[in-house]
Amino acid sequence: MHTVTFRQARQFVPLAIPLGAAIGFDGVGTVLVLVVVVTLLSLATAALSWSRFSYVDGPGSVVVTRGLLARSVRTVPTDRVRGVEVEAPALHRLFGLVRVRIDAAAGAVAGDREELVVDGVTRAEGDRLRTAVLARGQAAVRADPEAPAAEPEEEIARFDPRWLRYAPLVGSYLAVPLAAVGALFRLADELPEGVRPAVDGPDLADVRVLAVAVVLGLLLLAVGSVAGAAVVNWRFRLVRRGGSLVAVRGLLTRRHTELEIDRIRGGTLSEGLGMRWVRAARTTALVTGLGQATRRGQLLPLGPEPEARALLHRLVDDPGPLLRHPPAARRRRIGRAITGGLLVTGAGALATWLLGWWWLLAAGVLLTVLGVPLGLGRYASLGHRAGPRSFTVRSGWLVREQAVLQRRAVVGWQVRQSLFQRRTGLATVVACVGAGSGGYAAVDMAADEVAAFTEAASGPWAAALRPPQR
């Protein structure tokens, strides 16, 4: 029985200060009292939940008991454990503690991933728990006695600081400085009048001032996104240790993610619009039982496209170059991309005729014209290919995602055909997979190629889809 050395209480102290500050500004005394009360309260709850929390990792399962009044006992059999993540947030690191997250296999019905969290154990205990749970889980599955005790590590990928220069073109990292600016504005709004610095708003009418402001803003955005990417991916390393892939990363919060190679069914290569300009990409592993926890599966958060692709093909065989979809698919993509513009144009024509509003018509025409390159771009993303042991599908324009999957990954096929697709001889084929988002689609492939593709990409059972010979 290990009781957690749960020093979470100390986390509450810095939290209490801004909380008190936000509640009362009418006197220093009030603030002090509030700080003391809140701190004491949070200390008390933390101490209570600490005393009521315990975990045991037995030979067959991990049991977590918790709860203040209502006791809850959670048991997870070790052979259902899909991965263990050890993370060390900044405050935890100050006290030499870590947080261990144990991912268990999700049920058949789409739902919440089951997760056990053991918070606030020492670093050594966290590592012990991780190896103990994973080793037993793997032993139960494979019963492999000749696995060496101290397994050698093989480095697969390492984050090159030069790759940080891609960050300003990646949507998720751009969001970091924007969120910071938003938080700053909220703070400034909440400050009382007297405290706010009296700065005259810059004269935005002046073109030079405006240009300088825009350039400064863009610079700040770029610097912020680079800083954000650096904090998250600091000293990222991906190593292979025995039957697992281990990813370590983070500056303030150090994360240690472990994935079982046996459970990897494939991977995705995603490239955003901006990333495609500079040929950058991100590789994510698709792991059964991990559900939508895509962050856990990230194998290369950001890097040059050839590097990301090479990593992906270490996970799954390269099925070969993508096959393009028929011209009817291009017409359909363009048609769909300009529909909105045409509707606005129609409404604009009506508005011009009835009310004399020409600007709606102009906007509609512009949208329609812009829809053509958009449709062409979306069509250019489409592709599929079945290789001897794996297959791939690709789609998406804003974020182009190529999924490469092993044949055994397929747990079902879904073939969809709308009225328009039926008339143009197209069909959308979704490979249902018990990992990642649950399904990866080959959009608008030629209808008469569907049966051959599904059979080549999965197995003889898919022959049930073969249409009767005419």
Contacting positions for other proteins (CB under 8 A)? 105, 108-110, 263, 265, 288-289, 408-409, 411-419, 422-423, 425, 427, 430, 432-435, 438-439, 446-452, 454, 458-462, 464-470
CB of 74 to other proteins, least distance (A): 21
Asked if residue 55 lies in contact with residue 65, where contact means CB atoms within 8 angstroms, the answer is yes
Q: Where are the alpha helices (DSSP H) in 267-405?
A: 273-277, 294-297, 305-315, 327-354, 358-381
Alpha carbons within 13 angstroms on the beta-carbon side of residue 214 total 7
Q: How far apart are CA 117 and CA 129, in angstroms?
A: 12
- Looking at beta carbons only, is 27 or 460 nearer to other proteins? 460
CB of 129 to other proteins, least distance (A): 24
Q: How far is CA 85 from CA 58, 76, 141, 289, in A?
A: 19, 16, 20, 15
- Which parts of 17-124 are beta strand (E)? 54-57, 61-66, 72-77, 81-88, 97-104, 114-122
Residue 73, exposed/middle/buried by CB under 10 A (0-12, 13-18, 19+)? exposed
The position carrying tokens 């500056």 is 251
Asked if residue 408 lies in contact with residue 311, where contact means CB atoms within 8 angstroms, the answer is no
- Looking at beta carbons only, is 348 or 383 nearer to other proteins? 383
- Looking at beta carbons only, is 88 or 462 nearer to other proteins? 462
CB of 439 to other proteins, least distance (A): 4
Q: How far apart are CA 445 and CA 428, in angstroms?
A: 6
Identify the helix (H) or strand (E) that includes residue 140: helix 123-142
- Looking at beta carbons only, is 289 or 383 nearer to other proteins? 289
Task: Retrieve residue 7's tokens.
Answer: 């020093």
CB of 460 to other proteins, least distance (A): 7
User: What is the sign, positive or negative, of the torsion defined by CA atoms of 291, 295, 299, 305?
Assistant: positive
CB of 464 to other proteins, least distance (A): 4
- Looking at beta carbons only, is 255 or 407 nearer to other proteins? 407
Residue 94, exposed/middle/buried by CB under 10 A (0-12, 13-18, 19+)? exposed
**Amino acid making up residue 50:** W
- Looking at beta carbons only, is 153 or 448 nearer to other proteins? 448
CB of 389 to other proteins, least distance (A): 14
CB of 45 to other proteins, least distance (A): 37
CB of 310 to other proteins, least distance (A): 25
3 state SS of 253: coil
Asked if residue 80 lies in contact with residue 96, where contact means CB atoms within 8 angstroms, the answer is no
Task: Retrieve residue 144's tokens.
Answer: 């492999």
CB of 133 to other proteins, least distance (A): 18
- Looking at beta carbons only, is 134 or 451 nearer to other proteins? 451
- Looking at beta carbons only, is 274 or 439 nearer to other proteins? 439
Q: How far apart are CA 301 and CA 294, in angstroms?
A: 11
- Looking at beta carbons only, is 24 or 327 nearer to other proteins? 327
- Looking at beta carbons only, is 287 or 302 nearer to other proteins? 287
CB of 178 to other proteins, least distance (A): 32
- Which parts of 139-186 are beta strand (E)? 153-158
